Amino acid sequence: MTETTAMFTSTIGAPISARTPDQPATRYSHITVTSASPHIGAEITDIDLTRELTAQQISEVKDAFVRYQVLFFRDQKISFDDHIRFASLFGTLGRHVGAQTISKPTEHPLVRKFHYDETSQRISGESWHSDQSCAPFPPLGSMLYNHTVPPDGGGDTMFASTYAAYDALSDRMKAYLSGLTATHDGARVFGPGTPKSSHPVIIRHPESGRRGIFVNWDFTSHINELPRSESEAVLSFLYRHIGRDEWACRFRWRPHSIAFWDNRCAQHKALWDYWPNVRSGFRVQIEGTAPPIAG
Ligand code: SIN
């Protein structure tokens, strides 16, 4: 597949480059990669995740993950073993840090159940967030497999590029945010006993080298170096900015689809518009190996 590299002007002024200028377009010859939007997301086809992948496929999927921030796969009837084998290519699998969670454990300690039906009072992840940013080393990535989806649509997941959101900030705002840190308090979402950590507001992705905004509505309580009212105003601007449609894509689930996102440069939010229908699947997470790096 050949990628296109686009340069265009956003409606809010700053030019946005769809791909980093220092990353030449990649030709994928062992998988097929179809971009889902200008800034984030790609669907991977010509791959069977119920089998061992070749070294070339693994290398191309890893490249696509860093480049596109979230990968989508269709028609993959995976078992727990398949799920774990594929996710483990990206690092050590980890456990949820939340004290009280809506998702549930399964018989396998590394696999969590994400199941919602007519008895559900809430679902996980209805606001923009990156997973468990309250952890000292937040998870590198999360891989959600849904085997059952609502019959007449609904239950899509939205993904936003925090790179594109950063790139679109004015130089003055980038300078203002540089060097600030924020508190991410897990108790806001998962109750007492969940970790609380401080991370830089602007981070640099360890693999792509790109800068992104690392605060989110779910976990971030305040910017440490600012007075409370200023922190609230800045965070509220950043949340609105990250959630803009211009750098988001929307994934429509079908049965046996997978979404695999990079928590270091993407935020996501799940839509609960399908009650009382069923949406059901399993998620694993790949552990981070270091705290986020200041950008
Ligand atoms: C989550 O991980 O926050 C839930 C995502 C989803 O169910 O689409």
Active site residue 19: no
Active site residue 268: yes
Asked whether residue 239 carries a pLDDT value surpassing 50, the answer given is: yes
Active site residue 129: yes
C-alpha 142 to ligand 1 mean position (Å): 9
Active site residue 81: no
Nearest to 40 by CA among 253, 249, 261: 249
Give the integer Cα–Cα distance in Å for 131 and 268: 9
Residues 131, 167, 185, 218: which is the catalytic one?
A: 131
Tens of pLDDT, residues 70-115: 999 999 999 999 999 999 999 999 999 999 999 999 999 999 999 9
Which residues, 6 or more positions from 148, have their beta carbon under 8 angstroms from its beta carbon? 255, 278, 279, 280, 281
Tens of pLDDT, residues 135-191: 999 999 999 999 999 999 999 999 999 999 999 999 999 999 999 999 999 999 999
Asked whether residue 8 carries a pLDDT value surpassing 50, the answer given is: no
25 confidence band (pLDDT: 50, 70, 90): low
> In terms of C-beta distances under 8 Å and separation of at least 24 residues, what long-range contacts does 250-254 make, across chains too?
250/156, 250/157, 250/158, 250/159, 251/36, 251/41, 251/70, 251/72, 251/156, 251/157, 251/158, 251/159, 252/153, 252/156, 253/146, 253/149, 253/155, 253/156, 253/157, 253/279, 254/74, 254/75, 254/149
Q: Whose CA is nearest to atom 6 of ligand 1?
A: 270
> Is domain 1-295 annotated with CATH 3.60.130.10?
yes
**With contact defined as beta carbons under 8 Å apart, do 80 and 282 qualify?**
yes
Q: Whose CA is nearest to atom 2 of ligand 1?
A: 125
Residues 67, 83, 112, 129: which is the catalytic one?
A: 129
Counting from 1 in the atom list of ligand 1, the atom nearest the Cα of 283 is 2
17 confidence band (pLDDT: 50, 70, 90): very low
The letter for the amino acid at 263 is N
Residues 39, 67, 96, 268: which is the catalytic one?
A: 268
Asked whether residue 11 carries a pLDDT value surpassing 50, the answer given is: no
Mean pLDDT calculated for residue range 119-129: 97
